[in-house]
Amino acid sequence: MYSFDWAVFWKYLWPVTALQDPLIRSGLIVTVAVSIIAQLLGVILGLFAALGKMSKIGPLKVLAEAYIWYFRGTPLLVQMMLLFFGLGVTHIYNFPDIHLGAIMISGAIQAGTLALAINEGAYMAEIVRAGIEAIDPGQLEAAKSLGMPYSLSMRRIILPQAAKVIIPPLGNEFNNMMKTTSIMTVISAAELFFAFTQVNARLFQPFELFIAASFYYLALTTIWSFVQSWIESSLGERKSVVHTPGFLQRVFTFKGVH
């Protein structure tokens, strides 16, 4: 009979005590930081991949399509292992630790963030493309007729409008991203889930600890849904045609991991 250890449970559930454990504290910071950085990089990659895919220039189009095809078509886990260990053993790139003052960014965290970003870019590409394609072609024609070249039209006319279409799914991507960072455990990057597995290796109380772990992810994604609703409603104030689901609908709508 498994004896539930309430002391361990409360210690790791209650943030004040849990965050006293340096493993958990730095794990949480890493998860949040990696999520934000990987998502930002993913958006940038996605933007270029989307423009590449829509480009009339053959090689660019092929490159973008190959990128999207591969990274959406293979498991993130495999991509991450390939990037970290594959590049390591072949000595293409070893991901040395980086020291920024007092902060050390391990090679595993770098590789993990990069893999998450590249994977995310492939998904963002489709979201960005859908956003751009949702804009009335008359907008680009009007911009062209005013003598605006393609890049200027994109920057000033199309993308600002597409952003409104892109932001709701982007918010959902970020929700996913925060949870998906836990995959970095396989390359021993010290994020939140890895921290809990480390504590578990010491205490061997998996039931208590992983309930506590899920609480932290739930807290992150819930806080994010508030932020997301706020962003979308403040965007919506300036007359938007985009339907934005309400907060409750968002919290209770689940979406699978890539």
Partner 1 sequence: MTVSLIAPPTTVIDDDVIVKFDHVNKFYGSMHVLNDICLEVKKNEALVIIGPSGSGKSTLLRSINHLEKINSGHIYVNGRMIGYYEKNGRLYEDNEKNIAVQRASIGMVFQRFNLFPHLTAIENIMEAPLNVLKLSRENATAEAERLLQRVGLSEKRDSYPNQLSGGQQQRIAIARALAMKPGLMLFDEPTSALDPEMIGEVLDVMKELAHEMTMIVVSHEMGFARAVADRMIFVDEGRIIEYSTPEELYTHPREARTKEFLSKILH
Q: Which residues bind partner 1 (CB under 8 A)?
A: 136, 138-139, 141-150, 152, 156-157, 160-161, 238-239
Residue 188: enclosing H or E segment and its boundaries? none
Nearer to partner 1, 36 or 148 (CB): 148
3-state class (DSSP) for residue 105: strand
Query: Cβ 154 to partner 1, closest distance in Å?
Result: 12
Nearer to partner 1, 143 or 187 (CB): 143
d(CA 200, CA 208): 9
Query: Cβ 127 to partner 1, closest distance in Å?
Result: 19
| Nearest residue to 83 via CA among 192, 189, 187 | 187
Query: Cβ 243 to partner 1, closest distance in Å?
Result: 16
Inter-helix orientation angle 58-73/107-133, to 10°: 120
Task: Return the half-sphere exposure (C-beta side, CA atoms, 13 A cut-off) of residue 248.
Answer: 0
Can you read off the two tokens belonging to residue 204? 């061997």
Nearer to partner 1, 73 or 138 (CB): 138
Amino acid at 33: A
Query: Cβ 151 to partner 1, closest distance in Å?
Result: 9
- Per the DSSP assignment, residues forming a β-bridge with 105 are 98
Asked if 68 contacts 122 with a C-beta cutoff of 8 angstroms, the reply is yes
Query: Cβ 144 to partner 1, closest distance in Å?
Result: 6
3-state helix vs strand vs coil in the chain, percent to 5 = 75, 0, 20
Nearer to partner 1, 81 or 148 (CB): 148
Query: Cβ 143 to partner 1, closest distance in Å?
Result: 8
d(CA 182, CA 252): 21
Nearer to partner 1, 158 or 213 (CB): 158
d(CA 5, CA 25): 22
Query: Cβ 235 to partner 1, closest distance in Å?
Result: 11
| Nearest residue to 47 via CA among 107, 112, 132, 147 | 132
Nearer to partner 1, 72 or 144 (CB): 144
Nearer to partner 1, 49 or 143 (CB): 143
